[in-house]
Amino acid sequence: MRIDVKNIMVKDIITVGKDRTVASAKSLMNYFNFDALIVTNEEEPIGLVTSSDIQKRVIEKELDPHLTTIGEITSKPLIWTRYNTTLTEVAEIMEEKEVNKIPIFGNLSNGPILLGLYVHNKKEVLIEN
């Protein structure tokens, strides 16, 4: 059975500008109970940052989260896929790129639009197969 990622992606997502401080971004993550944010440069998605990125790249390195910007620790380039990609294909991309979350984009006449975020779940991929 074919399952497209658009049918199971998380549609509630938060974007954050690359110049925002890590402390500010982490506050957003805590408030909305999100583990990841899409990082933008002038509203163009450029990367992804997760709670574990903040832990590894800021806290463990003893950087000041009030002075460090999200842009400094963002995982780049942005690994993404299209809304009509199957779960199996998404799982292969994520395994190859060694990521656990992947933004999902759709098409509009003026370019791609961010639709959601997929968090890898091996059970869902097994269901498709």
For the chain, state the CA radius of gyration. 15
Hey, how many other C-beta atoms are within 10 angstroms of the C-beta on 115? 18
Q: pLDDT at position 105, please?
A: 86
Q: Which domains does the chain have, with CATH numbers?
A: 5-128 (3.10.580.10)
Q: Average model confidence (pLDDT) for the chain?
A: 86
Residues 2-52: pLDDT tens digits?
Answer: 888 888 788 888 999 999 999 999 999 999 999 999 999 998 899 999 999
Residues 56-81: pLDDT tens digits?
Answer: 999 999 999 999 999 999 988 889 88
Residues 8-22: pLDDT tens digits?
Answer: 788 888 999 999 999
Model-wide pTM > 0.85: no
